[in-house]
Structure 1
Amino acid sequence: MDTPMVEKSKLDEDKEGKAVDPSHYRGMIGTLLYLTASRPDLQFAICMCAWYQARPTEKHLHAVKRIFRYLKGTVNRGLWYPKDSSIALTAFADADHAGCQDTRRSTSGSMQFLGDRLVSWSSKSLPTMTLDSIKFGCCAQILWMRSQLTDYGLGFNKIPMYCDNKSAIALCCNNVQHSRSKHIDIRFHFIKEQVENGVVELYFVNTEYQLADIFTKALCRERINFLIDKLGMRSFTPETLKQLADEAEE
């Protein structure tokens, strides 16, 4: 398979579907979950399938088997960390509005880079859909990474965070709207404070270049290939690895 999920696929509870062995299904999911630590291109698909472990049906089992078939064709793929990349900290945050077919919850995705190296990412279902909740987790992760990097003598301010929602950016950056947004959760004001203190800077990015898109929905082959290239993923065949080893020895 050339994609881990069918494009625009929307898994649901499938109450009328034929049930399958839950233990076998959970075993498959448990095996795949280990890969989410090194294969960001699988994160969304695995998390979606993991949501239905209580009562899996044939529909869910077919979705999991598709991930395995995709994995078989991309077994040599992995993250590439170039040693000569910069140490700039940047982030992307995105959400798929009301994407869950059962609860109408949204799925948020975020990622953080050190230079060209993807070092942190997440895909999770949101309990509620608000402009601030999309960016809250991403901003909190940035601050944690910033504090850890301080121990290595690296200081960061004005950390770029890219979002494709102009309304969310306007709320965080425009003080005039403050009186109209007092009803919003305290998390919004937390992000707004980081912007005002110059720790984080919000930038608009077109959906086409929103890298966190891969963590919020099932995409087509061309879109996935474009994004995984931007994430720094490469296909390392045995020949490629031998060549890199030889270059390192020289």
Structure 2
Amino acid sequence: MTDRIKIYVDDIIFGATQDSLCEEFVAAMKGEFEMSTIGELSFFLGLLVKKKKYGIFLCQSKYCKEIFKKFEMESCKEANTPMPSSCYMDADAAGKGVNQTKYRGLIDSLLYLTASRPDIMFAVCLCARYQANPKESHFKAAKRILEYLKGTTNVGLWYPSHSPIHLIGYSDSDFAGCKLDRKSTSGTCHLLGSSLISWHSKKQACVALSTAEVEYIAAGSCCAQILWLKQQLADFGLKISKVLLMCDNTSVINLTKNQIQHSRTKHIEIRHHFLRDHVNNGDCEVMFIETKLQLADIFPKPLPKERFFFVRNELGILDSQNIS
């Protein structure tokens, strides 16, 4: 009847392609349960939903201010980025320990904030790796994220109403970026037209032996998400055939086209050739993109200020004051 229903405890969000379907759903629910309707969605679980003339804006400014108050950072200075590009973070075994409960509480709060703030995803996930034995250096890095949020409290995700309906994925990685185990970090994101609908930053499960391998693994993760998104869009009646997957590594593109295993890539596990199979099936097409245009660049590593601002804007992570 309705296109989508979201239930959390006793709160319900529902939407449909026609107002009449919403009315039918309300009537059916009230016939079975005691229920009150409060009108068009504007606020849900700390997420502010602003319906504007040319689209919808999502942000967590109120929740963000609650975090400042909770961790006594209301009058903190502002930072340009969530993490300096020269950041070096490790276990800091010789460092002074901090309250583990407080540190975990801060990380949990920041993780929830990533629902509308993909720009802090990498920095938060990096700090989250040290929750077992946090040190002052880790707590300082986490507080730096709050300093960045202080100057970008009203930043959120912008979804324009007249964006073209085409799905595109971006894949990137940071080779051997973890200082503890030398594992790499994958970063992917997916846009429907100009709207960011999916993103992730995740440390890979095994140590890679080459940049080609880490990029191939990241692209495989991106492909898996593309398949899931295609199925979700199909449920809405949107059939998308071949999806572009943008990668800035030519070796990855060659691997998806060449069935022969060369000596320099034969160490890549067979399970990672999942990507090549789906390229051959026509589910997606891996295309080269210049590094300067790689929008997934913000998820596997810290970026310098100018680069960070460029990618953030291209992903539609904007300040509400700049949206009409």
Give SS of 1:86's match: coil
Partner of 1:63: 141
Quote the Cα distance in structure 1 between the aligned partners of 2:108 and 2:138.
Answer: 14
Cα drift, residue 5 of structure 1: 0.4
* Percent of matched pairs sharing the same residue: 48
Two-structure CA RMSD over aligned residues (Å): 1.6
Quote the Cα distance in structure 1 between the aligned partners of 2:288 and 2:190.
Answer: 16
Which of 154, 166, 170 is residue 238 of structure 2 equivalent to? 154
Cα drift, residue 134 of structure 1: 1.5
Correspondence 1:170 to 2:261: no
Number of corresponding residues: 239
Quote the Cα distance in structure 2 between the aligned partners of 1:182 and 1:219.
Answer: 32
Quote the Cα distance in structure 1 between the aligned partners of 2:177 and 2:88.
Answer: 8
Give SS of 1:92's match: strand
Partner of 1:88: 166
Alignment of 1:102-181 (within 5 A): 102-128=180-206, 129=208, 130-131=213-214, 132-175=216-259, 177-178=260-261
Alignment-mate amino acid for residue 53 of structure 1: Q
Cα drift, residue 182 of structure 1: 6.6
Quote the Cα distance in structure 2 between the aligned partners of 1:201 and 1:120.
Answer: 18
Quote the Cα distance in structure 2 between the aligned partners of 1:84 and 1:45.
Answer: 32
Partner of 1:227: 311
More helix by share: 1
Quote the Cα distance in structure 2 between the aligned partners of 1:18 and 1:52.
Answer: 13
Which of 28, 31, 50 is residue 106 of structure 2 equivalent to? 28
Partner of 1:206: 290
Give SS of 1:111's match: strand
Alignment-mate amino acid for residue 221 of structure 1: K
Quote the Cα distance in structure 2 between the aligned partners of 1:8 and 1:165.
Answer: 23
Partner of 1:187: 271
Instruction: Give the structure, 1 or 2, with the largest relative contact order (CA under 8 Å, sep 6 or more).
Output: 1
Quote the Cα distance in structure 2 between the aligned partners of 1:48 and 1:103.
Answer: 13
Cα drift, residue 178 of structure 1: 4.8
Cα drift, residue 157 of structure 1: 1.6
Which of 266, 280, 294 is residue 196 of structure 1 equivalent to? 280
Partner of 1:248: none
Q: Deviations over 1:82-111 (max 9, x none)?
A: 000011000000000000011100010000
More strand by share: 2
Which of 110, 119, 124 is residue 41 of structure 1 equivalent to? 119
Quote the Cα distance in structure 2 between the aligned partners of 1:170 and 1:156.
Answer: 24
The range that moved more, 184-193 or 162-171, is: 184-193
Give SS of 2:159's match: coil
Quote the Cα distance in structure 2 between the aligned partners of 1:210 and 1:52.
Answer: 28
Partner of 2:46: none
Unmatched tracts of structure 2, length 5 or more: 1-78
Quote the Cα distance in structure 1 between the aligned partners of 2:271 and 2:284.
Answer: 15
Quote the Cα distance in structure 1 between the aligned partners of 2:182 and 2:297.
Answer: 18
Give SS of 1:91's match: strand
Compared CA separation, residues 114 and 222, structure 1 to 2 (3 A):
same
TM-score if structure 1 supplies the norm length? 0.91
Unmatched tracts of structure 1, length 5 or more: 245-250
TM-score if structure 2 supplies the norm length? 0.71
Give SS of 1:203's match: strand
Q: Give every structure 1 segment of 4 or more consecutive aligned residues whose post-TM-superposition deviation is greater than 3 Å.
A: 178-184
Q: Say whether the 8 Å CA contact 1:94–1:134 is kept in structure 2.
A: yes
